Amino acid sequence: MANLVRRVFKPSQIFQSKFAILGIIVLLVVWFSVAFVLDRRAIFLPGTTSPGHVLFETSCSSCHEGFKPVSNETCLRCHEAEMAEDAHGSKKFRDPRWADLLARIDVLTCTACHMEHVHIFARGVHLQPDLCMNCHEEIITGELASHDGFAPDGCWTAGCHNFHDHRSISTGFLRQNMNAPPILPVPEVLQLPKPDRSGKPLKPDWEREFLQANSKIPNANVANGGTG
C-alpha cells in the first residue's frame, strides 16, 4: 500500500507543485504592487461601471475609502441636491409606521438598490424591475382601477415612475396643482416618453434598461436612440 501511494504521489511532484504555487503568489504580489505604484487601479474593477460613473471609475478614492464599503455619505457627496426632495427619503422610512416595508428592502441604504460593478440595469440598479411590488403589489391587483392589467415589472422600465421623485404623478401633487393654468409662465421641456394614446398600459422595456447598463453589448447606443 505504501509503495502504491509513493508511485501515485511522487515526492518530486509535490515539491514541484509547491514551487509552482509559490511562483503564482509572487507574480500576483508583483502585479498588485505595480498596479498601485502606477496608479492602475482600474484592473481591480470586478465589473462594468454604470454610465453615470464611468468618467471617474479610475479614481477609486472618489467613492471608496480604503477597503470600506461605499456609504450613504459617500453617495451624497454628489447626489445630495437631487435627493433633497426624495419621495422615498430616509425621513419617511424612519417613521415606525413603515417599519414592515423597510424590512422588505432596506431603502435607507443606497447600495440596497444601487451597486457599482455588479449592476444589471441602468443607473447602477442591481435589483429586478419588479422591486416596486415588494410594497405596492396591491396597486396592480385591484386597488387602483387605472392600473388594471399593468405589468409588475413596468413601474420604471416603462418610463412612468422614478423611485426617488414621482411628485408629478402623486395624488398630493395633483390636488395641489388642480387649478394650475394649462401653460406655465416659463414652459419647460420635460424629459418624458411620448404618451400612449391607445389607453393601454406602457410596456416594460427591459432591453432598453439592460443595454444602457451593459456597455459591452454592441449597438447599445443605437438601441437607446443614440447615433451608434
Domains of the chain by residue range: 1-38, 44-174+199-223
End-to-end CA distance of the chain: 68
- pLDDT at position 35: 60
Tens-digit pLDDT profile for residues 21-78: 877 887 777 766 666 655 566 677 778 888 888 888 778 888 888 778 899 999 999 9
- How far is 141 from 39, CA to CA, in rounded Å? 53
Q: Tens digits of per-residue pLDDT, 121-177?
A: 888 889 989 999 999 999 999 888 888 889 999 988 887 888 888 776 767 777 777
Query: Distance (Å, rounded) from C-alpha 40 to C-alpha 17?
Result: 31
Q: Are 204 and 153 in contact (CB under 8 A)?
A: yes
**Per-residue pLDDT, 225:** 42
